[in-house]
Structures are given as C-alpha cells and as structure tokens.
Amino acid sequence: MSVGLLAVVDDILSAALKASAKSAGVVIDDAAVTPQYVQGISPARELPVVLKIMLGSLANKFLIIIPIALLLTAFAPWVLPFLLIIGGTYLCFEGAEKVLEWFGFHHGHEGEGARNENKLVWGAIRTDLILSTEIMLISLANLEAGLSIWMTLVILAVIALVMTGLVYGAVALLVKIDDIGLKMAKSSSSRVRHTGTRIVRSMPAVFRVISVVGTVAMLWVGGHLLLANLGEVGLHFFSDMLHGIHGFLEPAGAVIAWIGETFVSAVAGLVVGLIVVGVVMLIGWMLGKKPSFTEGGESPVNAAH
C-alpha cells in the first residue's frame, strides 16, 4: 500500500514539474511585478500585505482559475483564448499606466489613494489573477493526455501551491531584505556590518530595477497573450508574426530569438495599453474626471523603496 502511494505521489510530482516547466518565465514575471505593490507602505505592514496578496493568489487559483479551466476545457475550450485576450489587455493597460506614471502622468489617482493598503492588495490580486491564469493554463496544456479529472486536479493543485510559495517567498525576501541589512549593519562583526551597509545602500537601486522589470514583464506577458491568442480566435496575422520573428532570429541562437519575440510582445503590449488608457481617459473626461500631472513623475530613475 505504501509503495503504491509513494508511486502515485512520485507520478504527481513528476507530472507537476514537467507541466509547470514552461511557465517558469511567467513565475519570474509574477515575482518581479508584485513587489511594486508594497512600495511606499509602512515597513511593519509589508509582510502582512504580502501575506494578504498570497492568500488572494491562492483564492484566485483554487476558487476561480482551476475550476473554470477544468470546466471550460471539458465543455467550452473555445472560450479560453477570449479570456486570455481580456486578461492580456488588462496587463497591457496596467503596464502602460506605470510607464505614463514615470513621466508624471496620472489619471484618476490621488497620492494617498495610491498608497491605500486595501487598494494595493486588490490591485495586486487582480494582476495576479491574470498571471496565475497563464501559469495554470500553460501547465494544464502541458499535462499528458488521458489523465483522469481527479489526477489532473491534484497535479494542478500541487502546481498552484508550489508556484505560489515560490513567488511570494521571493517577494517576502525582496521586501524585507533591507531590514535584514539594517540588522546586519548593527552587528559586532565589522565584516557583517560592512555587508549589511552595502545591502541597505543597494536596495533603492534594486527596487528601481524591479520596478522596470515588473512593468516590462506586464507589457511583455500582456502583449504575448494578445498576439498568441488572437491567432487562436482566427486573427492569424499576429501569431504568425511572432512565429516569423522567432524563426528569423533562431539561427542566431535561442536566446536572441526569445529576446526578439519578447521585444515585439512588449512593444505590442505598450501600444495596446496606451490605446486602452486613452479610451479610459476619454470616458473619464466625459464623466468630468481630469488627468493629473506631477513634476518628475515616478521615474524608476528617481524612485526609492
């Protein structure tokens, strides 16, 4: 009995690892995007906020994504590309908003409201919903054919738990590493103090990089979701363009091909995001809401944790 159970567990873990391997890039994107949502809040609230977002991420996966994905896969698989197009458009919108904020342009945001903890948490959970959807759908697509519904469910549950733990473990470390550096800077050992001081001094630059990477990640993932899934619903020009770019650059190496495809996806994401922002601005203007400008903006060059 125990040998049989161990074999089943081994099969589940092996299938989960194999199925989730291709979603590693999205996991990295998720870990890069999320720290932006805890910048500017009290250090004492950073871990509680990360915990809230993590619980929201688990709710996204177990209460929304997995049940809907299994149902749609079984009864209406044609709906999935449309959902991913909507999700990709939302990520493009979020990414374009952040790019505009770097240049001091805001629409419908006030300084205090932007740092409201509940708004931050819900904004992060909404973004996580899109990224988690892609992670789970990529994993689902890479499962072996012929698995029972229960085995599929268990494998997806394992993937959801492991991916969430990896992402938010990394996020928690990123947002608290400066506190670790401060404690090290008070050590009796001069070497430890020196290391702690360097950590503290480097964190603003680290978070500036994370801010840029997170924004680019949203535009890249959002743009890729749009281009790839527009092909799935019959607009093959966009997916063919991606494949063509990949094929053209492939002789130069897999890395160069990936960079080229990613660049095109990010540019497409920015263009679509700016269009959506423009539509939202127009609707806001019609409703009497005016955009605002702040001198210098929140450029990643000037931003600090």
d(CA 260, CA 162): 30
Percent of the chain with pLDDT over 90: 8
d(CA 162, CA 166): 6
How would residue 272 be classed by pLDDT, with cut points 50, 70 and 90?
very high
Tell me whether residue 39 is in a domain: yes
pLDDT at 114: 44
Tell me whether residue 1 is in a domain: no
DSSP letter (8 states) at residue 106: E
Instruction: Between 142 and 89, name the one with better pLDDT.
Output: 89
d(CA 83, CA 229): 9
pLDDT at 127: 82
* Structure-token pair, residue 244: 């063509």
Instruction: Between 29 and 257, name the one with better pLDDT.
Output: 257
Tell me whether residue 300 is in a domain: no
Residue 135: closest CA among 162, 153, 173, 170: 162
pLDDT at 218: 79
- Between vectors from CA 297 to CA 293 and to CA 298, what angle results, nearest 5°? 140
pLDDT at 60: 93
* 8, pLDDT greater than 70: no
Tell me whether residue 96 is in a domain: yes
Query: pTM score, two decimals?
Result: 0.69
How would residue 111 be classed by pLDDT, with cut points 50, 70 and 90?
very low
* pLDDT tens digits for range 210-252: 778 778 887 888 888 888 888 888 888 877 887 788 777 878 8
How would residue 275 be classed by pLDDT, with cut points 50, 70 and 90?
very high
Output 118-123 pairs: Cβ under 8 A, ≥24 positions apart: 120/37, 120/38, 120/41, 120/49, 121/37, 121/49, 121/52, 121/53, 121/56, 122/56, 123/37
Alpha-carbon distance values, 54 to 44, 78, 84, 266 (Å):
17, 30, 22, 26
Tell me whether residue 3 is in a domain: no
Domain that holds residue 49: 9-293
- Bridge partners (DSSP) of residue 3 are none
pLDDT at 64: 92
* pLDDT tens digits for range 39-77: 667 777 888 888 999 999 999 999 999 998 888 888 888
Average pLDDT on 128-144 reads 79
Average pLDDT on 23-32 reads 62
The whole-chain average pLDDT of the chain stands at 78
* Structure-token pair, residue 208: 């500036």
Residue 162: closest CA among 35, 274, 19: 19
d(CA 92, CA 266): 9
pLDDT at 177: 83
Tell me whether residue 25 is in a domain: yes
Instruction: Between 145 and 183, name the one with better pLDDT.
Output: 183
Check if the beta carbon of residue 199 is closer than 8 Å to that of residue 177: yes
Tell me whether residue 24 is in a domain: yes
Number of domains in the chain: 1
Alpha-carbon distance values, 45 to 116, 165, 208 (Å):
12, 19, 20
pLDDT at 101: 82
Tell me whether residue 221 is in a domain: yes
* 274, pLDDT greater than 80: yes
pLDDT at 29: 61
* Structure-token pair, residue 193: 């103090």
